[in-house]
A and B are shown apart, each in its own frame.
Chain A
Amino acid sequence: MVNVENLNVKFGENHVIHDVNFIVNQGEIIGLFGISGAGKTTIVRVLTCQIEKKHWTGNVKVTDLSPAKKTNHSLILTNIGYVPQLELLNLYFDLSPIDNVEVFTSTYGKNKKEAIKIAKSLFKILDLPEDTWNKRVKHMSGGEKKRLSMAIGLIHRPSVLFLDEPTTGVDASKRYDILTYLKKLNQTLNTTMFIITHDLESALICDKAAILREGKLLEFDTPQKLISSLPSKGLVARFTVEHLNEKLIDYIKKFSAIKTLLRVGNEEIEVLMDDFEENLPKLIQYMIDNNIKINSMSKDFASFRRYFQIRIQEEEEKEKKFKDSEGD
């Protein structure tokens, strides 16, 4: 559905995307994760024909068409949908949802009646109350606007839908609603979805997670596989340590089986180890022997959030070492 080979994007001297490769199949949900400036939006803008060819190189195919060719743009844009981050950029607030559907249908040159039928079925899937359909969008709640925005992105039945930060600015409980709706749409319509997001919870519904850092694609795989690539398949021990400080952390780190140690709270640390089951008792013993007071302890599998943190931290350390060695 979407193929990206050796994608490089340069704005003048600014090399923004470095050798990115990935393949996306029909019906997959892809999460694009990365801290601000990582290049998430830039990749999506290449895929949605918004960056001129002179700025990028590589072999890119969206629904088997290359955005490199200007003549393909109109076809690609018919095959894809886009849901911007802000509803203000996607909806005419002074028009009703049905009028909005009409406007955007006309931009795709599709049949109006059919589009309204599709829209109504989408509204139903998304639980948009029927009495809001003909009232101005202005009067809808934030969550309803968000869902309407998603429906508008789908009225022309695109095979790929791009969503920019669909859960940002939505309160925690609603966030899961949005994700559930997206999954529901994905399953009913078999639409391929790209979700640009800072919200690591979104990985819950993603078939593949792409992790970007400074324009490089660090990982591209299912969240489960990524997590289980951690030492001991991602088992994590969590300790609450009294009077935790940097010195103490350095001391604990000296325990040789520890692969990664993260400070996750004021007095909390999480530890990843090789041979977890075997080494956990040894670690506890080591801490007791050294008069480190453990207030509580638990074990669990790492969340995607944790994985992301570890992976980025790892990369930062690698880079630092590389720089230090260069300095010598």
Chain B
Amino acid sequence: MYLGGLVRKEFGRIRSNKRTLLLLFVIPIILIVVFGLTTGVGITKLFTSAIITCDDMPTYDDFPNNSSKYDDTFISIMQYNTSSWDLYRYYNATNSEEYDNAYHNCYNFLKNGDIHIIIILPANFSESVENKISPVLIYYIDGSDLAAITAIEVAIQEPIALFRAETDMIANFTMMVPYLEFDVPFWESAILNYAIPIILPIIILGTTINLTSLSIVAEGPLPRMLVTPTAKREIILSKLIANSVIMMLQSTEIFIMISFFGLYSLGSLFYFFLVLLMIGFCGICIGLFISTLSPTEQSANQMYLIMFIMIILFSGSVLPLNADLQGVQIFINLLPLSNAVPLITDITLKGLFPNLENLFWLNLSSLIYIILAYIIYMFKKLEV
């Protein structure tokens, strides 16, 4: 078996390619550190809120035991107890005129960016809590920033969780803009955690494709290998193995780094790591595919760029895509980001089991790329 030596050779070549290795191992660190630090350690209040209560006898500040008790608790939590929220203004509105006024003011705050959310506690809020009925909570958020919506929807879970702990509440909240109810607080690194599903696959794909896209075109002595008893398939297999090992190291590094900076995954960390590996593997398959398809190094670089742009554009995260044509949908599914983003989102933010359809398409695309690479390589005319 000639594989051992070939694999060692691949390692030697990868090792000598300092720039690519730097990209592979340092970029994730930089990005994670930047995102990790951006979230702070919980000192900064990330979001600002305004609250309108509609209970009859609001006596916030001097806590008598009346029906607005829980409104006060909620407001107090918003003001003092959360790590991610700040209370900007508080209004009490017991009739529609007061409500309209309060809402109008809040609307302007929201519009000007003074606040991120308007929370409305309806008239029967405290009563519902007292009677152990699901209390209703209404909120309005700025819809112009897609990214902020999710972050805010995620962060609002913190005061809710705190409130429930404080009041020993068993019933769920009924959200008027309901998304998903999270049981576990993970706002410590909200930005990092929020960025992970999109940033992480992009880093992994970008660097692994970069690692492998030159591995065949740029290897001068490759044709000469064919004047030895080495088979072509052993050559391509050795590349797959060596690059996969490097990719695993990278995934491990990323995994450790983000754990250090407070990855709070609702779902299984094992699945999370597994999905990282699958994404990396797909990157390697795409890289090898590009490398076999390209006649020159320059064209490999161009194809890398084109492929990468396509992957990002059609990921579903940049442009909301809804392909009616089945062919287009399959094309999008074969671009790894369109599956990688939902997979990581599901695991970390929603705590779900990885979506089987996404898993299927992600790995199917890896398989297709590597098989294509193999076929092209077998038919490629290599002459010494």
Contact = CB atoms under 8 A, between A and B. Distances in A.
Interface of A: 45, 48-50, 73-75, 77-78, 80, 82, 84, 86, 88-95, 99, 102-109, 112, 136, 164
A94 B219 CA distance: 11
Nearest to B6: A106
B8 interface: yes
A94 B17 contact: yes
Contacts of B9: 92, 95, 99, 102-103, 106
B227 A77 contact: yes
B16 A104 contact: no
A207 B179 CA distance: 86
A94 B218 CA distance: 12
Contact of A109 (B1, B17, B227): B1
Given A89-B224, A106-B8, A112-B5, 16 more contacts: A49-B227, A50-B383, A75-B229, A77-B229, A84-B224, A84-B384, A94-B16, A99-B9, A103-B9, A104-B228, A107-B225, A107-B229, A108-B228, A108-B229, A109-B2, A164-B384
Nearest to B13: A94
Contact of A107 (B2, B223, B384): B2
B223 A89 contact: yes
A86 B17 CA distance: 22
Given A92-B13, A94-B17, A102 B225 contact: no
Contact of A94 (B6, B12, B223, B230): B12
Contacts of A80: 227
A112 B4 CA distance: 11
Contacts of B383: 45, 50
A109 B9 CA distance: 14
B220 interface: yes
Given A84-B384, A92-B221, A107 B13 contact: no
A265 B338 CA distance: 73
A109 B229 contact: yes
Contact of A92 (B12, B230, B384): B12
B229 A106 contact: no
15 contacts: A74-B229, A77-B229, A80-B227, A82-B227, A90-B224, A92-B9, A92-B12, A95-B16, A103-B5, A106-B6, A106-B9, A107-B5, A107-B225, A108-B2, A108-B229
Nearest to A83: B224
Given A106-B4, A164-B384, A90 B221 contact: yes
Contacts of B57: none
A39 B227 CA distance: 19
Interface in B1-32: 1-2, 4-6, 8-9, 12-13, 16-17
Contacts of A90: 220-221, 224
A95 B5 contact: no
Interface in B171-201: none
A308 B13 CA distance: 44
B226 interface: yes
B220 A88 contact: yes
Interface string B216-247: 00001101111111100000000000000000
Give 5 nearest A-B pairs by CB, closest first: A106-B5, A94-B16, A107-B228, A103-B9, A82-B227
A149 to B, nearest CB: 10
Contacts of B13: 92, 94-95
B6 A99 contact: no
Contacts of A89: 220-221, 223-224, 384
A90 B228 CA distance: 12
Contacts of A106: 2, 4-6, 8-9
A91 B221 contact: yes
Contacts of A104: 228
A222 to B, nearest CB: 28
Nearest to A77: B229
Nearest to B4: A106
B229 A78 contact: yes
Interface string B293-328: 000000000000000000000000000000000000
Contacts of A91: 220-221
B12 A95 contact: yes
A82 B224 contact: yes
Contacts of B2: 106-109
A104 B13 CA distance: 14
Nearest to B16: A94
Interface string B60-97: 00000000000000000000000000000000000000
B255 to A, nearest CB: 30
Most buried by A among B4, B6, B8, B220: B220
A256 B25 CA distance: 82
A107 B228 CA distance: 6
Given A82-B384, A89-B384, A108-B228, A103 B17 contact: no
A298 B2 CA distance: 61
A30 to B, nearest CB: 18
Most buried by A among B8, B9, B384: B384
Nearest to B14: A94
B153 to A, nearest CB: 50
Nearest to B235: A107
Contacts of B220: 86, 88-93
Contacts of A78: 229
A45 B223 CA distance: 13
A103 B6 contact: yes
Most buried by B among A75, A80, A88, A103: A103
A46 to B, nearest CB: 13
A192 to B, nearest CB: 16
A93 B227 CA distance: 19
Nearest to A76: B229
B217 to A, nearest CB: 13
Contacts of A112: 5
A107 B6 contact: yes
A90 B220 CA distance: 7
A164 B9 CA distance: 25
B219 to A, nearest CB: 8
Contacts of B1: 109
A104 B225 CA distance: 8
B4 to A, nearest CB: 6
